[in-house]
């Protein structure tokens, strides 16, 4: 399986979630199943069905996280020095040349992308247009509202 890029911070968030699922959520659902079993007839026991469904979700998520972490290519943006070139993990200050609006995005893995936090996936149209360019370059991005021209003001490796 191909390696999936993820930042150091993103990998840590996945590890924290995995640890919580294994040490808190899994034992809690096992206890809930045991309590529901104690109530008798399982064929008409909604608590038992709900607990089993929750257990399936937890076990599935644990497998998913373990798979992602085992196939992760962890990249620490602070260790990058790509001479001002936009690469995975870099933080880019942009200026919309038409609207004169400034924005800042960090290019991250798909699992850690959150536009509200200024984190965009490396597979997004904006990131694809930016990767490989330098400060001072203008990237053309196709958006639902038309083509936008984004000038790269600064590239940081935080």
Question: With 80 as the cut, is the pLDDT of residue 147 above it?
Answer: yes
Position 138 scores a pLDDT of: 94
CB 84 within 8 A of CB 150: no
Question: With 90 as the cut, is the pLDDT of residue 28 above it?
Answer: yes
Q: pTM of the prediction?
A: 0.82
- For residues 8 and 16, give the distance between their C-alpha atoms in angstroms, rounded to a whole number: 12
Last residue of a domain, one of 22, 55, 75: 75
Average pLDDT estimate for 116-137: 94
23 and 94 share a domain? no
pLDDT band at residue 128 using 50, 70 and 90 as cut-offs: very high
Q: What is the largest CA-CA distance in the chain?
A: 70
Position 1 scores a pLDDT of: 63
Average pLDDT estimate for 130-136: 94
pLDDT band at residue 45 using 50, 70 and 90 as cut-offs: confident
Three-state DSSP at 141 gives strand
- 28 closest CA partner among 49, 58, 64: 58
In this structure, what CATH number is given to the domain that contains residue 128? 3.10.50.30
- 69 closest CA partner among 19, 11, 121, 112: 11
Q: Domain containing 114: what range? A: 77-156
51 and 28 share a domain? yes
CB 75 within 8 A of CB 8: yes
71 and 97 share a domain? no
pLDDT per residue as tens digits for the range 107-124: 999 999 999 999 999 999
**Exposure b/e, 27-65, CB count within 10 A at least 16 = b:** eebeebbeebeeeeeeeeeeebeebbeebeebeeebeeb
Average pLDDT estimate for 32-58: 88
């Amino acid at each position: 399986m191909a390696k999936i890029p993820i930042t150091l911070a993103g990998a840590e968030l996945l590890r924290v979630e995995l640890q919580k699922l294994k040490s808190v959520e899994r034992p809690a659902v096992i206890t809930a199943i045991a309590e529901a079993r104690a109530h008798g007839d399982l064929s008409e026991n909604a608590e038992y069905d709900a607990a089993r469904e929750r257990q399936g979700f937890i076990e599935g998520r644990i497998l998913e996280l373990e798979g992602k972490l085992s196939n992760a290519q962890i990249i620490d943006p602070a260790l990058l020095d790509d001479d001002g070139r936009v690469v995975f993990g870099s933080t880019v200050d942009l200026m919309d040349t038409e609207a004169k609006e400034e924005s800042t995005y960090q290019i991250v893995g798909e699992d850690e992308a959150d536009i509200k936090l200024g984190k965009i996936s490396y597979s997004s149209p904006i990131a694809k247009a930016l990767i490989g360019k330098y400060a001072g370059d203008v990237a053309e991005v196709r958006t639902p509202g038309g083509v936008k021209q984004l000038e790269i003001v600064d590239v940081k490796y935080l």
